[in-house]
Every structure is written in C-alpha cells, then in structure tokens.
Structure 1
Amino acid sequence: MTSTGGYWEPLWAQGRRYRRLDDAETRLMTDHLGPGRRRLALDIGTGDGTLACHLHHQLGYRTTGIDCSSNAISLAAAQDTGPAPGPVWKYTDITATDLTEHPDPAYALITCRLVYRWMDDKRSIVNRVRRLLAPGGTFWVVTEIDSRRASTHPSRVSGSPPRRPTHSLWPGPSPVPPTSMYSAATPSTAEQRPIKYRMTVP
C-alpha cells in the first residue's frame, strides 16, 4: 500500500524530495482560493510543508499540515522559517485516524497535493474530507495524470502489478452542493487548469 507511512518513511529518510511549488501553481491558488483571513486549512500529505507554509504565511490561512511520515513532519517543522506562529505539524495518517476528534474539525480549505493518486481507498478519503469541511469549504486537489509517470509509479518500482489508471477523483453520483473541489493536473504547466466541481461522494 503506497498510502501508508511504511512506504514513505524510508523515502523521506533517504533524502527523497518531490515537486516544489512553482509560480503557475501559486497563481492558481491566489486566483481561486484567495486570502485565508485566518480561516482554518488542512494540508493532507504535507510532506516537507511547502504548501502548508504557503497557505499559512502567504495566503493567511491558519494551517495544519499532516503526514503519515514522521520524517516528513520533522522536515516540515525544520524548514518553516516564517514568522511565528507557523503552521501546526501533526504526524497523522488520514486513512487510519478520525480527524473529527481534533480540536479544529471544520476546515474552510483542505488541500491534497500530489498525494491523492497514491491513496488506495479513495472513496473513504473523500468521505473523510466531506466530514471535515466547513459549509462552503473547498477541497483542492493537485494530481499527476496517471500515465505520465509509468516508470516511477510505486507499484511498478516495487514489482507489484500496476493498478488501473484512475480517471475520476471520486466514485459515485451523490452531490453535496455546499462544497467545491478544484483539480489541477501536473506536471505540465499548460495543463494546470483548475476545474471546479461540485464534490460528490458515494
């Protein structure tokens, strides 16, 4: 399972790093998310904390970054050089933890950058996100097009049979009108067009 800490811990410990934010991506967030005005934000799979720090220090959200890798969380905390108080960093696996028990259960913004693709049970993740979003909140997903990274897909690297490409961000047709989702494809800048959806869950 590529969504668990057991897979990601050694990669972070070995110095593996992932795609940094670029100007095109930060412009999209400025245009479509706007100023945070101290509203709550949750960054799922925060990694080295780059996105959480941008949301917190540049856009003005009160951000919590969570990751299933303790090595990633340690790196995120060490790299946050912005003014205090900075983002809150939590070693948490969203696939196994009931985040509604946290002190801030309702978020105006939940982000999931370059992580959603590797989650095995997408139905469960979308349901968890729905329960965590405040009315009118946004689920911001940035994901690669599955076929673009065939040679480095974790299932291929590990020798496991490749999974069928995922073309939908969620299954099922049931609309939840107050919530919106934006999706931006990577890595091609030309393809980073945000598409606004009504979030649907099974």
Structure 2
Amino acid sequence: MGYTTPEEWDAHYTDGKTFRQLGDGERRLLDEHVPAPGSGVALDVGCGTGELARHLADSGYRVDAIDYAPAAVDLAHEGSDGTGDITYRVFDIERDFLNDLPHPAYDLITFRLSFAFIRDRTRVMNLLRERLRPDGTVCVITPFAAAVPDSKRGIALDEEEIGLLYSGWTVAERHDADGLAFVVLRDPASARVTCAGKKRPSPHALTGAGVVVTDPVGRILLGWSARRGVWELPGGKNDGDEDFLDAAVRELEEETGLKAGRRDARLLALLMDSTHGIPRMTAAVRVTAYSGEPAVTEPDLIRRWEWHEVTDLPALAQRLFTPSAHVIDAVWPGLLTGLPPVHRYPIVPAEVPEPTQQAAEAASLRQEMADRLIEDGWMDSGSTIEAAVRRVPRHRFLPGIMLEDA
C-alpha cells in the first residue's frame, strides 16, 4: 500500500477498502491510559472512517478528527450518529498550518494506523509536541513490522522506528493491543542537539562535500543513518579528479534523487577537523535550486530522508553528524552552539538566495508589523522609519528564530 497522495487515498475509500476495526484491546488501553479529563480535547490524526474519533467522543473528549483524504472525512461524517462532540476536517498534518486547527492545544493526540504513512515524522512530532496541554499525551497505534508481510512493510514501524519515536519524551510506554503496538508518549523532554562521529574510515585523503538544500519554505533536508545512529546532510567524498561542486550535485542525486546543476551550487567554506587522527576536509555547499522529491536510493547508508525545520535543529533529540553540523553552521552562523572544534576557511559570504515562499511570508509579516506599529502610535506613517521597517528583512539577521518572532 504505497499511497502518497490524497487522490490515491480517496480511491482507496471510494472502492470500499478500509482498515481493521478498533479492537477491544485498543479500547481497553485507551480507557486505561488516556481517560478524558474534564473538558478534554483530542486530535485524531488520520481519522479514516472516524471509528477512533467516535470512541474518544463517547469517552468524554471533544474531538477534532482530521484526514487529508476528503473521501475519508465524508465517510467519517456518514458514520457519525450525531452524538458526541466531533469536528471533522480535511487537513494535511504535514503541509497545512497547525494554526488552522480547530483548537490551539490538546490533551490527547492520536495516530491510529496512520503514523507509518507520515514522511517527515520528526518535524511533525516536534510541531505537535508544542500543541500538547500540560500533562497531555501522544498515542500512536501501529502495526509492527515483524508481524506483517514484506508487501505491507510500508504500513508498519520496526524496532528502530519505534525507538526514534521515543526520542524526546520523558515517558514512553509500549503495550500490545491485539497484535498492534500501542505507544504512549508523555512529558516532552527538553534536549540539546549532540554531535557524533562515525567509525574509523578507510585510510585515504578524507575530502568531500556536505550539501545544504532546503524546500520552498526553508526546511532543511537531513537523512537518518540507522547504521551510525546520526542525522546527516546529503553529500560524500569527492573523486580524485572531481571538484567539490561537482561532487556535491553528484552525491545529492545519488543519495536523494534530487537533481541540481553545478550553477545551482555555491561553495561557502572549507571546514577542516580530524577523525581518528586523520585530517578531514569538508566543503560546505549550498544548493539553491533542484528538481524532484527526496527518495531513499542507498538504504544501506541512509534509512530515510526528512525535511526539518531549521529552528528545530538546536534541540534535535538524536545526534547530528559532526561535519554536517559544521556545514549547517557555515550557512546559519550561531544556530548551533557547543560544536566540536573546526578550522573554517570562508570562500564567499554566507548570504544565499532565500526560498521564494519564505521570503513572501516574511514580507507579509513585515507589512503587518508596520501597520500595527503605526496603529499603536509607535511610528509615523510616511516616515523614513516606516520605509525601513517595511523593507529590511530582519529575519535574515536572526538565524534560528521563527519568522513570526523575528
């Protein structure tokens, strides 16, 4: 079941296909571990036909049931008997703005048979953690990879993926619900990103490139190396007769499937440190344009690619590969603190073209800020100060700060 678009999921539901019904074991664990508090509000992500949402409503929750497939939401509406406080909405948890959800915060956030279909799991979970009320809970109910045939691997999580799910939570419990993994996550734990090296490399001249590439709204692409237990940028060693820019665009395509030209790559700095006593030179390369979507092409090296919010990197729950951290610091100086020592040799200023959508959003926020300052009497309309406030991209001088805060 390799569905990737709302249209494919619509076809799934309109063809009469569905998922296993909510079992007695799930109901018992839900009632035991996440009983509804007074005025409790729940968010059911990937609600499907609404069976879990109706159970939560019967348990006393006000429920926001969301799914990005309109056909699923229609079926959920049809299956409702009108009792219980449930709001159904077509909503893409990965791409839509969470401010558009019906409620600003939740006591319970559930993923039933849906978490395995989320691509940028770390980013989504980081965003949802911020939407939990104090003492709130995230509950993930998922098939386990060892219990499903290889043809259905895409609907399940394995031990490593469940372990990643635990990262960043003080309380992480796992129960069995009729053969499904029932994961309860509570109390988000504050963390600081740590860096990690790899095993001793084969003896040779260690030179290569680390590539920073961002999506249209400024999210950075990182790959999870299960073998090494680190997040890392695309990139790798350059061949003997290959310069850093050629190596960067080649490695980007070989590792992720994203295609870029040499003209789209900018060399920002050379970074030199050492590993196991061997000098290591990393070229910090910024790719400003590309085509395609990230894909796992070398699963023995990188298990998955995810877009991450740049502002989430300082608190990344898992380790970040040291050279990747140095390259990120070359693009956003000061974003990451406490980095291992490195010799930095800047090539060009770190200023790079800004993603179009991010620039447009920042410009809109500047206009709103200027209007508010004039309305509140802090600034005169038509003044040179107003012109500066509307024009200066203040967020470009505040790496790691959300656009709204800048």
Alignment of 1:57-68 (within 5 A): 57=58, 59-68=59-68
Q: What are the ranges of 5 or more consecutive residues in structure 2 without an aligned counterpart?
A: 190-315, 318-406
Q: Residue 151 of structure 1: CA displacement?
A: 4.3
Q: Residue 169 of structure 1: CA displacement?
A: 3.4
Aligned to 1:75: 75
Work out the CA distance in 2 between the residues paired with 1:52 and 1:173.
24
Report % sequence identity. Answer: 27
Alignment of 1:49-198 (within 5 A): 49-57=50-58, 59-83=59-83, 86-153=85-152, 165=158, 167-169=160-162, 171=164, 175=168, 177=170, 180=171, 183-184=174-175, 188=179
Aligned to 2:40: 39
Q: Is the 8 A contact 1:176 1:199 kept in 2?
A: yes
TM-score, normalised relative to structure 1 = 0.79
Cα root mean square deviation, aligned: 3.0
Instruction: State the one-letter code of the partner of 1:42.
Output: L
Q: What are the ranges of 5 or more consecutive residues in structure 1 without an aligned counterpart?
A: 157-162
Alignment of 1:4-15 (within 5 A): 4-15=5-16
Q: Is the 8 A contact 2:6 2:68 kept in 1?
A: yes
Q: Is the 8 A contact 1:25 1:192 kept in 2?
A: no
Alignment of 1:16-31 (within 5 A): 16-31=17-32
CA 1:126/1:166 → structure 2, altered by over 3 Å: closer, same or farther?
Answer: farther
Instruction: State the one-letter code of the partner of 1:89.
Output: Y
Q: Is the 8 A contact 1:2 1:8 kept in 2?
A: yes
Q: Is the 8 A contact 1:45 1:115 kept in 2?
A: yes
Relative contact order: is structure 1 or structure 2 higher (C-alpha 8 Å, sep ≥ 6)?
A: 1
Q: Is the 8 A contact 1:47 1:72 kept in 2?
A: yes
Q: Is the 8 A contact 1:185 1:192 kept in 2?
A: yes
TM-score, normalised relative to structure 2 = 0.42
Aligned to 1:160: none
Task: Describe the SS at the equivalent of 2:139.
Answer: strand
Show structure 1 runs of 4+ deviating over 6 A.
none
Q: Is the 8 A contact 1:140 1:182 kept in 2?
A: no
- The one-character-per-residue Cα deviations of 1:116-156 (angstroms, maximum 9, x if unpaired) are 11212111221121122112210000011123223442769
CA 1:165/1:35 → structure 2, altered by over 3 Å: closer, same or farther?
Answer: closer
| Higher Rg of the two aligned structures | 2
Q: Is the 8 A contact 2:141 2:183 kept in 1?
A: no
CA 1:4/1:94 → structure 2, altered by over 3 Å: closer, same or farther?
Answer: farther
Aligned to 2:323: none
Task: Describe the SS at the equivalent of 1:169.
Answer: helix
Work out the CA distance in 1 between the residues paired with 2:116 and 2:141.
9
Work out the CA distance in 1 between the residues paired with 2:168 and 2:30.
24
Task: Describe the SS at the equivalent of 2:161.
Answer: coil
- How many residues are treated as equivalent by the alignment? 190
Task: Describe the SS at the equivalent of 1:88.
Answer: strand
Instruction: State the one-letter code of the partner of 2:160.
Output: H
